[in-house]
Amino acid sequence: MPDRPHYVDLLNDIRLQESRAGEYLEAWANTTTNEELKECLSMVAAREYSHGDIFDRRVKELGFETSEVADPEFVEKVRVVTSDITDAEKIAWLKEARLRQPSPTVRERYEAATNDESVDPLTRSLLRWFTDVENDSVVRMGEVYGKIENGG
Ligand SMILES: [Fe+2]
């Protein structure tokens, strides 16, 4: 096996975060009765699953095995988004959960890796594209969340 680059763990963490996001967003999409929210969650969930697959592949292309890392918050996230509380309450809960993320967050780590010349160029290019898609998802979800938070 080649020497293990320092960023393989980051790529594996992105893979896990994205595929888990796909799961809980899809679970929420299947629960909500708000059609606009359902459509947005389904679109973003498909992106998240796809990102999970792409980073899974990238770890393997670099010559390494992916690994499983437990996320104690994940089960709770699925439980909350499929519960009987309102969509507005789910949004508030998810925003609180985001604040509890350990620092540096995965997002902070991949932003740093994008600008790190010791990371191989193809991975950096992938991270730039991934960041653009994630930003677009944040904007789209923010628009739908905003309407729900304002009682729409
Ligand atoms: Fe994501």
pLDDT digits (tens, 9 = 90+) for 80-90: 999 999 999 99
Domain architecture of the chain: domains with CATH: 8-149 (1.20.1260)
pTM: 0.95
What number is the average pLDDT over the span 89-97?
A: 97
Nearest Cα neighbor of 7 from 58, 42, 74, 45 is 58
Q: How many CB atoms lie within 10 A of CB 103?
A: 6
What sign has the CA pseudo-torsion 144, 147, 150, 151?
Answer: negative
pLDDT reading at 152 higher than 90: no
What number is the average pLDDT over the span 42-53?
A: 98
Given a contact cutoff of 8 angstroms between Cβ atoms, the answer to whether 35 and 152 are in contact is no
Given a contact cutoff of 8 angstroms between Cβ atoms, the answer to whether 21 and 125 are in contact is no
Report d(CA 2, CA 64) in Å as an integer: 8
The 10s digit of each residue's pLDDT in 132-151 is: 999 999 999 999 999 999 98
Tell me, in angstroms, the distance from the centre of ligand 1 to residue 124's CA.
17
Tell me, in angstroms, the distance from the centre of ligand 1 to residue 17's CA.
7
The pLDDT > 90 percentage for the chain reads: 93
Which residues surround the ion ligand 1 when the cut-off is CB under 5 Å?
A: 18, 21, 48
What number is the average pLDDT over the span 46-53?
A: 98
